[in-house]
Amino acid sequence: MEHFSSFQALLLSSFTCILIVIFICFKWISFDYKNRKNIPPSPRKLPIIGNLHQLGSNPNRSLQILSQKYGQIMLLHLGSIPTLVASSAEAAKEILKTHDLSFCSRPSLTVPNILLYGSKSVLFAPYGEYWRQLKSLVVLKLLSNTRVKSYEKVREDETTLMIQMLGESCGTIVDMGVLFSSLTNNIISRIALGRKVDGPRYNNLVSAWMEAFSVFDVGSYIPWLSWVDRVIGSVGRAKKVAREFDEFLDEIIEEHVNKNEEEAAKSNEEEDFVDILLGLQKDDTSGFALGRDSLKALVMEAFVAGTETTQTTLVWTMSELIKNPRVMNKLQLEAREIAMGKDMISEEDLERMPYLKAVLKESLRLHTPAPLLVPRITIQDVKLMGYDVAGGTHVIINAWAIGRDPALWEESNEFRPERFLNNSINYQGLQFEWLPFGGGRRSCPGVQFSVPVIELALANIVYKFDMMLPYGMKNEDLDMKEAFGLTINMKSALLVTEAFAAGTETTQTSLVWTMSELIRNPRVMKKLRKEITQIAQGRSMISEEDLEKMSYLKAVIKESLRLHTPFSLLLPRELMQDVKLMGYDIAAGTQVIINAWAIGRDPTLWEKSNEFSPERFLNNSINYQGLQFKWLPFGGGRRSCPGIQFSVPVLELALANIVYKFDMALPNGIKNEDLDMTEEFGITIHRKSPLLVSVNPQF
């Protein structure tokens, strides 16, 4: 017995020695790896949670502050996930252009996997043959220039109905967020689903989907604590919402399948997305088998993400216009000159409204819909700006910070659409100081879908109405606080008072922020109105065709997206392989967050980065393609937002018409400069308080 006990003791001590040797070897290898690799600077992390505690309620702002200490590229650990954060245009360019292929995939996140059919959507699908085929389908079949143009009547019809609703609200307080949400929902549902969908069931379903999507899931960042998500119910709620949304989409699909040829022939509508995708399912020559789950993922993404980003941008842009009366007045002047007394500004008019376009671009600069873009993950080790980035590292581009970088933008926190006049900045994502829709392979393909909606709505609202904040609030007192979520929304609703009416969450957030900036900056509002009025030439409405001539409108929206990036931290990415990033080694599996919000406000990129100055987007090449990495409201690279071309037209059109039709002011004597611009973090960064304005018709 004693001999046996001695043997046990010997065995135990030997086993302990082996463990100690293994531990020492592991530590030595780890230490040697870190010393051989030039890893990006990192703030001190805590056990288990890493740097999660440093994100705060507004991650785009928190990451911008951290970047000022640790540099334009830093490595955080969100739980156990290594996450590279890029907060400069230079770093964004390296990620979205120079090393785009290395950074083109998406991390696997629990909730998006549940809500988007295993991440089968364009935004969240991992890089590979499936994603390439899917994006090709979206770009060529759903969001081609010809297809987007074919929906012009839908956009103009719904914009006209919105203007009529505003006209019927004479003397009342209007929640612009609700108004823009209804507009974008109606447009996108008609285009994507073939009919308008509303009512308590649908509205509750969308709200539940967005709430589920915006919830932080512990398991994605601390895998061994994934049970926490089940205990607190976040996974269960996501599955419930996914199941209910799936039933809703099945109903829509069955309606289309059972629609007979006679009904289809009688319809005056263009083929909707479901029609097109069902047709592709039957096409054996396409070389791509589109499954039912993939079809539903595409429709859901277009519907939910498109509505959110467009509505967000409309709200932010209108907020900027109200907060900046100069911009509002200028935009209204442009809209009225273009309209020439017509009832409505048409899409055709929008091409002649450069100030409207500048307003939208300036709004997107300040209020980037996805301030951190959509996260990426490296698929291989890469050397980035002298740093080693390992494959599997998650990547975040802070487009919000880039859009407010004072080194890139003069008076970067001011709403000055003039900065986007007479420059080459566009929505192609090739100017990395302005990335409202991302850049590179994963840039948002839907930008040309959304921009006409925004421009047409804005043009007709400013053309038809004057708006002011209620309760005697001054324009400068408009609350511009952000709420972080799927996009950056205004934390408070944008409420306006419509004193007199004349005439009849990607976009609503941007519109509210842009209108807030316009009200807060009367100079910008006046300049934008002048541009719109000149383009409108007395017509009743600004058309999408006019938008291309409204350079200042585009600058306003870009500036708004810079300051109020809807997705402040973009969507997280995950490295597929070890990569060298700006001299740092980033390991495969690292989650990546891009603080687009911080990039948009980076004083080294944007002069006076916290000021709303659309002029910074004039005469430059910044566009929505996600290739200018100091401006990333919609991300960049392969994983940039595919719906950017859908939302920007919505934003520009709405903003152009609003500025053209109406004068807006803060109610109850509130000064423009006192407009509260506090943000609230959520699915998007929203205004913390409503944007309330008084609206007066221009004619």
Residues of each annotated binding site for heme:
444
DSSP secondary structure string for all residues of 503-531: ----BHHHHHHHHHHHHH-HHHHHHHHHH
What are the residue ranges of helices labelled H in 521-639? 522-536, 551-563, 596-599
DSSP secondary structure string for all residues of 408-452: TSTTEEE--TTBTTTB-EETTS--TT--TT--TTBS-S-HHHHHH
> Distance (Å, rounded) from C-alpha 487 to C-alpha 472?
30
The dihedral sign for the CA sequence 307, 481, 214, 139: positive
What are the residue ranges of helices labelled H in 545-604? 551-563, 596-599
Phi and psi torsions of 694, nearest 5°: -95, 135
The answer to whether 304 touches 501, Cβ cutoff 8 Å, is: no
> Distance (Å, rounded) from C-alpha 567 to C-alpha 536?
32
DSSP label at 474?
E
Q: Is 588 helix (H, G, I), strand (E, B) or coil?
A: coil
> Distance (Å, rounded) from C-alpha 477 to C-alpha 690?
11
CB-side neighbour CA atoms (13 Å) of 16: 6
Give the residue ranges of the annotated binding site.
444
591-595/573-581 β-pairing: antiparallel
Distances (CA, A) of 464 to 159, 502, 537, 539, 698: 12, 6, 13, 10, 6
**Coarse DSSP helix, strand, coil percentages of the chain, rounded to the nearest 5 percent:** 50, 20, 30
Burial of 170 from C-beta contacts in 10 A (0-12 / 13-18 / 19+): middle
Contacts of 224 (CB under 8 A, 6+ apart): none
Give residue 207's region: left, alpha or beta (phi > 0; psi -120 to 50): alpha
Output Rg (C-alpha) for the chain, integer angstroms. 25
Q: Is 538 helix (H, G, I), strand (E, B) or coil?
A: strand
Tokens 């038809």 appear where?
A: 464
As given in the structure block, the two tokens for residue 520 are 């807060």
As given in the structure block, the two tokens for residue 103 are 């950074």
CB-side neighbour CA atoms (13 Å) of 108: 9
